[in-house]
C-alpha cells in the first residue's frame, strides 16, 4: 500500500559520517526530507568514554586495579557493556591506553635494584658478562 503513495526515495550521505538524508517524493508531487542518525558501529559502542579513561589514569597513580573497579562500582559507573566493573576490565583499559600500574611499595619491601646494591651483585646480564671477562 505504501508503494502506491511514494513515487521514489533518494538517500544522500551527509558530510557528518553518522547521518543520512532521506528524500521522499510522494505521488502527489510533495517532498519530505528526513535526516536519519546511523547507529554507532560495534567498536564505538564498546569504546570507553574519555572521561572514564581519564578518571582511571588519575586513580592509577595510587590504587590497584581491584580498588579502581570497586571505586567505579561505588560511584555507580557501568562498563561499556552495561556491566559492573571488574579487575579484568580495569586491566584491559589500562593496557589499551598504556596506563602504568601504581608504584606501590611497602616500607619493608625492597626493589630489585636495592637488593642488588645491598648484596653487591649485578642486576643485568650484560653487566655480569662484562665483569667475568
The CA-based dihedral angle spanning residues 23, 45, 41, 10, taken in that order and rounded to the nearest 10 degrees: 0
Q: pLDDT digit string (tens) for 1-54? A: 888 899 999 999 988 888 999 999 999 899 999 999 988 887 777 788 888 999
The residues, ordered by sequence, that sit 6+ positions from 11 with a Cβ below 8 Å of its Cβ are 20, 21, 22, 23
Question: Count of CB atoms within 10 A of residue 89's CB?
Answer: 20
Count of C-beta atoms within a 10 Å radius of residue 22: 13
Cβ contact 62:102 at 8 Å? yes
Write the CA distances from 31 to 6, 7, 13, 14, 20, integer angstroms.
10, 10, 18, 18, 16
pLDDT digits (tens, 9 = 90+) for 98-125: 998 877 656 677 777 778 888 888 766 5
* Residue 32 confidence (pLDDT): 94
Residue-range domain boundaries for the chain: 2-38, 43-96
Q: Are 19 and 35 in contact (CB under 8 A)?
A: yes
Other CB atoms within a 10 A radius of the CB of residue 69 amount to 22
**Please, which pLDDT band fits residue 66 given cuts at 50, 70 and 90?**
very high
Q: How would residue 80 be classed by pLDDT, with cut points 50, 70 and 90?
A: confident
pLDDT band at 81 (very low <50, low <70, confident <90, very high): confident
Q: What is the mean pLDDT of residues 58-77?
A: 92
Residue reference for cell 546511523: 38
pLDDT higher than 90, residue 88? yes
Q: Give the pLDDT score at 105.
A: 59
Say which residue, 124 or 81, is predicted with more confidence: 81
Residue 133 has pLDDT above 60, yes or no: no
| CB count in 10 Å sphere of residue 93 | 21
Amino acid at each position: 500500500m505504501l508503494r502506491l503513495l511514494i513515487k521514489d526515495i533518494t538517500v544522500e550521505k551527509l558530510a557528518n559520517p553518522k547521518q543520512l538524508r532521506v528524500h521522499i517524493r510522494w505521488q502527489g508531487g510533495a517532498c519530505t526530507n528526513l535526516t536519519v542518525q546511523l547507529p554507532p558501529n560495534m567498536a564505538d559502542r564498546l569504546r570507553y568514554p574519555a572521561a572514564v579513561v581519564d578518571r582511571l589514569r588519575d586513580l592509577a597513580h595510587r590504587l590497584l586495579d581491584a580498588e579502581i573497579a570497586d571505586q567505579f562500582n561505588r560511584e555507580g559507573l557501568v562498563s561499556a557493556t552495561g556491566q559492573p566493573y571488574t579487575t579484568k576490565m580495569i586491566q584491559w583499559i589500562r593496557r589499551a591506553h598504556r596506563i602504568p600500574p601504581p608504584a606501590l611499595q611497602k616500607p619493608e619491601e625492597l626493589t630489585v635494584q636495592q637488593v642488588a646494591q645491598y648484596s653487591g651483585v649485578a642486576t643485568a646480564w650484560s653487566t655480569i658478562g662484562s665483569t667475568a671477562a
